[in-house]
Amino acid sequence: MTGTDYQSWGRLDPRPRRAISVHAFEEEGRGAGIGAFLPFGNGRSYGDSCHNDAGALIDNGTRSRINAFDPGTGILSCDPGVTLRQILERTIPHRFFLPVTPGTAFVTVGGAVANDVHGKNHHARGTFGHHVLGLTLLRSNGDVLACSPKENSELFFTTIGGMGLTGLILSVDLQMMKVPSAHIQQHAIRFDSLDDYFAMVDRIDGEHEYSVAWIDQLATGKSMGRGVLLAGDHADASCEFPDMPRGLKLGVPFSPPFNLLNRLTLKGFNELYYRKEKPGEVVSTVKWPGYFYPLDAIGNWNRLYGPKGLYQHQSVFPAENAPAVTALLMETARKAGHASFLTVLKKFGDRPKRGVLSFARPGFTLTLDFANQGERTLKLLDALDAIVLKAGGAVNPYKDARMSPQTFAASFPEWKKLEALRDPAMVSNFWKRTALALPK
């Protein structure tokens, strides 16, 4: 199988890629050459951690069944190619929800494990990997291993956040979360500056299951860092469940010849988004797709960044210097002439990480999206890396397409543990340009 579908969400390198089915790997993978394969989910990773241009991708979409779900315990067992949306379709009628979910429901379970994704409730529930009860892993030597905290535990904790490098996940057992309703009682709190956000975030996180802030990255002066904090909790049982949304409401059918999310358009968008929320705290009931997955309603929204694609920069840094670091990162981007469409700020909780290379850790995480402007953008991203590392933070490899080996090693000093357990038949473009470029 070949085609342009096997590209990352950043669309930085749209060349056709070769892929095989899970069944083909099961039949032919034993004794494969070094670095011959890499599992591929649904292409929601932004960078090159989902690419292996020297080998073949294993298309997890060819194995996408929910094998069992117990409405009594909330335990679900599924194939790696099942999407989070499919899980919700199955479990919401029984009043179960994902305990942790990223900002799109089109992520596969295999990808959620491999990237140990986080959501708006890390302070309450940790990462996706904290709710994985066990998994089955196929190694290229033919071994099929049951992995859990008690069985093959070292391989289990390395596979969580292991970017698909420890082997091919065949199945995942996941503990779902019982909820009174899938809807969210949302608390929209408009704040006028970054200082206002940091003054209230600890209290808000302590009171609510979910918490995430949208930031106007282009605002300056007294309004620098203004935004909207969207806190929430699952609504009570009197709230009726919505019908499952059918398909996408809108779509971007093709990539425009230029970036539509530029400084001029984003300045206007940011002003409208900020002003649409009333001052103070507004409480309302929001349907769960709108709270968790607002951009899923727009098909291929990444095309709005134009033909050159986009870079996403996500970092985490200690809480004690978070206000200054957050301000410096946004200011550095503004001075470099870059505008971020999705500027998201969240606080991670203190729960110890589950995976050896899990990204989420105590502190604050800032996400910035930039249209690709070539060398100007790469220079900016290097500058952002330097700010984060100087602050004692880390850069997210699952969102990356260009970080240096040194940045990766400083962000993940335990990387050699993954290398030691990496299936020799599995490698990615990311691992080649970072870990394998470092001294052994």
What does the alpha-carbon distance between residue 173 and residue 397 come to, in Å, rounded to a whole number? 25
Decide: 297 and 249 in contact? Cβ < 8 Å: yes
Decide: 368 and 313 in contact? Cβ < 8 Å: yes
> What is the residue whose two structure tokens read 């290379």?
357
| N-terminal to C-terminal alpha carbon distance within the chain | 35
pLDDT score of 31: 64
DSSP 95: T
pLDDT score of 359: 98
pLDDT score of 389: 98
> What is the residue whose two structure tokens read 């909207």?
228
pLDDT score of 93: 94
Decide: 209 and 233 in contact? Cβ < 8 Å: yes
pLDDT score of 262: 73
DSSP H stretches of helix in 233-374 = 263-276, 288-292, 322-335
Q: Which pair of structure tokens corresponds to residue 299?
A: 């098909």
> What is the residue whose two structure tokens read 């309703």?
181
Three-state secondary structure call for residue 145: strand
pLDDT score of 243: 62
Which amino acid appears at position 1 of this protein? M
pLDDT score of 238: 82
Decide: 166 and 421 in contact? Cβ < 8 Å: yes
Residue ranges in the chain whose pLDDT is less than 50: none
pLDDT score of 161: 98
Which amino acid appears at position 161 of this protein? G
Three-state secondary structure call for residue 271: helix
What does the alpha-carbon distance between residue 213 and residue 224 come to, in Å, rounded to a whole number? 14
pLDDT score of 15: 86
pTM: 0.95
Q: Which residues contact 419 (CB under 8 A, 6 or more apart)?
A: 435
